[in-house]
Chain A
Amino acid sequence: MSGTNQSSEPLIRVSHLKQYFPISTGFFQTRPLKAVDDISFDIMEGETLGLVGESGCGKTTAGRTILHLYKPTDGEVIYRGKSIRTAKDIEEFRRKATMVFQDPYSSLDPRMTVADIIGEPLDVQHLYKTKEERRERILELMDHVGLNSEHAARYAHEFSGGQRQRVGIARSLAVNPDFIVCDEPVSALDVSIQAQVINMFDELQEKLNLTYLFIAHDLLVVRHISDRIAVMYLGHMVELAGADEIYDRPLHPYTRALISAVPVPDPVQARANQRIPMTGEIPSPLNAPPGCPFHTRCPYAKESCKESMPELREIEKGRFVACHRIEEIG
């Protein structure tokens, strides 16, 4: 299986996952939009896997489909060796896998107090016997994310962006999960607050032995927090490797261009950096090019790249790349 590791059992195994959305193109006619098209990878227990790519590459859809917020078109998600298929599986899985959303301004109900927002998953999953137990659990969760107990009776609008994101994180921790999908959790925050929240993710991971799928477009943030990084392009996974390796020595032509475009906060380095330009724009996933999805913008593309889709293969230990010509371009 591509993109997977056979040595020990992963916490989450994603296997040939596909998510197609029907787009209507006329009366009774639909065409599939292939948002996620056959991706496979493992996430080990206690690991942070970063998922990066440009907008529209399917990274958010991938995260949501893994949690079964969308029903996968094909493929499966295996949690601790058990495939998630039935409604009962999904219900159990949701007690172990939760999500933190991007926008702390729209993901919290303005009419609920912080205590109720954090307590709602406890109500839904019936995770307490007495009111007192519920209250204690809420206060414990607030303590985990660095909120004061006196904040419990307040409403979301009374908080700053960073504090709201803390509420969102406390809510996602309520069911005591071991896997959290973080969808751009810091991109709406100010720089000075971002670091606080990033550190908190790190601390919570150590304290509660959490596993993260960290979806973001800020490559410096992703590199900082991730053990491994997966790069997506047009619904496909094009590269998967250790965070430092992918940053210091990207292999796939798309990853190379992506990494070289990151603005480094250092004037001398910025002046020295040579960007690898990418021609054209990302094609619409409705009209995905045949063969390798990146061939339309790839400086190394050849005729053969238009014909068949490259498999994600392990070319060095722990380095997976989907490119026909990777050996030639070196």
Chain B
Amino acid sequence: MALLEVKDLHTSFFTDAGEVRAVNGVSFTLDRGKVLGIVGESGSGKSVTAYSIMQILASTGKIVSGSIKFEGEELVGADEKKMKEIRGNRISIIFQDPMTSLNPTYTIGHQLMEAILLHTNRNKQQAWDRAVEMLRLVNVNEPEKRMKQYPFEFSGGMRQRVMIAMALACEPDILIADEPTTALDVTIQAGILELMKEIQKEMGMAIIMITHDLGVVAQLCDEVVVMYAGSICEQGTADEIFYNPCHEYTKGLLRSIPTTGNEGQRLQPISGTPIDLLNMPRGCAFAPRCDAAMKICINEKCERFLINDNHAAACWMNIKKAKEGGKQ
């Protein structure tokens, strides 16, 4: 049984301007000990997918339909009591901006212990020890001294380490990392990613890595989900996605980033602008920007084609390539 199974998830925001379908039929599974990357640009629904799993959507947001099964147990429609048991305990999340995720008026120690006291049966002394242990795990020097300091005394990279320590204090089964290194310098980012990988191996948890940076994905992820306009356009193992991309959007993304291969040449950008979620096209959401768009792309949404056992893409270009009967 998969650790997490998301099936045909639809999440919408009901705004004054109308219903914004932020997540539009997303399905994926996550096994224990795996790192899943969710890639996409702003507005692609990658963060909303994560927030739906945690059920921490803004007040206008609602899971419209679909199912999220954690260890076989349905989370959609679960009551708040149930979610409180899971949030921060079994599934933890770290956010993009370490500068604003910590409360400036409490010490680091207080904030770390709060999470531990809330979710475990430890007493104060034990919680303190556990917090110190966690800080040591994430390579914060002199953890005893750091426990008594306030967030402003920490640099950005150190604060993100504290956030990771906090998220891991209860040994969750899944860690959701929402752009955890986007606000950080590359040297700090490299350290944080290595740390996450190490801890992941040590504790055997699963990670959902939400990012727009394909470099980060290549570094860390076993499997990748590429999202565009609230839907999954392609999913598969990292190697399949990078070396055998089958959706025009993924191909475009890989062509548009500067690498050692296209040095000295013009980049090949994806034309047009990101989609307006209030004005979704009838067919494939990417068709208006797609150079290879055909008549069918404009008229009909593409189904998911199985390219092979480790790879699926929702792009009409694969209709011939798809395995016989592989259509789902």
A195 touches B219 (CB 8 A): no
Question: A194-B256, A264-B259 in contact; A270/B218 too (CB < 8 A)?
Answer: yes
Give CA–CA (A196, B41) in the complex, Å.
15
- Check: B253 CB closer than 8 A to any chain A CB: yes
Residues of A within 8 A of B243 (CB): 267
B267 touches A195 (CB 8 A): yes
- Check: B155 CB closer than 8 A to any chain A CB: yes
Query: Which chain A residue lies CB-closest to B41?
Result: A190
> What 1/0 flags go to A173-203 for Cβ under 8 Å of B?
0000000000000000011111110110010
Query: Which chain A residue lies CB-closest to B185?
Result: A54
B218 touches A264 (CB 8 A): yes
> What 1/0 flags go to A276-298 for Cβ under 8 Å of B?
01100100000000000000000
A266 touches B274 (CB 8 A): no
A275 touches B189 (CB 8 A): no
Give CA–CA (A163, B193) in the complex, Å.
33
Q: Which chain B residues in 250-270 approach chain A with CB under 8 Å?
A: 252-254, 256-260, 262-263, 266-270
Number of inter-chain CB pairs below 8 Å: 118
Of the candidates A160, A223, A266, the one having the most CB atoms from chain B within 10 angstroms of its own CB is A266
- Check: A265 CB closer than 8 A to any chain B CB: yes
Pick from B187, B259, B266: contact of A257, CB under 8 Å: B187
A265 touches B273 (CB 8 A): no
Residues of A within 8 A of B190 (CB): 260-261, 263, 275
Give CA–CA (A25, B240) in the complex, Å.
57
A265 touches B254 (CB 8 A): yes
Residues of A within 8 A of B189 (CB): 261, 263
B263 touches A224 (CB 8 A): yes
Residues of B within 8 A of A223 (CB): 258, 263
Give CA–CA (A228, B108) in the complex, Å.
43
- Check: A213 CB closer than 8 A to any chain B CB: no
- Check: A258 CB closer than 8 A to any chain B CB: yes
Question: A202-B266, A265-B217 in contact; A162/B186 too (CB < 8 A)?
Answer: no
Residues of A within 8 A of B252 (CB): 192
Question: By DSSP majority rule, is chain B's interface helix, strand, loop, or mixed?
Answer: helix
Residues of A within 8 A of B218 (CB): 263-267, 269-270
Pick from A220, A261, A264, A267: contact of B239, CB under 8 Å: A267
A195 touches B216 (CB 8 A): no
B273 touches A160 (CB 8 A): yes
Give CA–CA (A190, B289) in the complex, Å.
15
Residues of B within 8 A of A267 (CB): 218, 238-239, 242-243
Residues of A within 8 A of B216 (CB): 263
B253 touches A191 (CB 8 A): yes
Of the candidates A162, A192, A217, A268, the one having the most CB atoms from chain B within 10 angstroms of its own CB is A192
B221 to nearest A CB, angstroms?
8
Residues of A within 8 A of B156 (CB): 55
Pick from B42, B238, B260, B269: contact of A195, CB under 8 Å: B269
- Check: A244 CB closer than 8 A to any chain B CB: yes
Give CA–CA (A194, B214) in the complex, Å.
13
Residues of A within 8 A of B262 (CB): 224
> What 1/0 flags go to A116-129 for Cβ under 8 Å of B?
00000000000000
- Check: B157 CB closer than 8 A to any chain A CB: yes
- Check: A221 CB closer than 8 A to any chain B CB: yes
10 closest A-B pairs (Cβ-Cβ)? A263-B215, A195-B269, A224-B258, A195-B256, A261-B190, A190-B41, A265-B214, A195-B267, A192-B270, A196-B269
List the interface of chain B (C-beta within 8 A of A). Answer: 41-42, 155-158, 185-191, 193-194, 212-219, 238-239, 242-243, 252-254, 256-260, 262-263, 266-271, 273-274
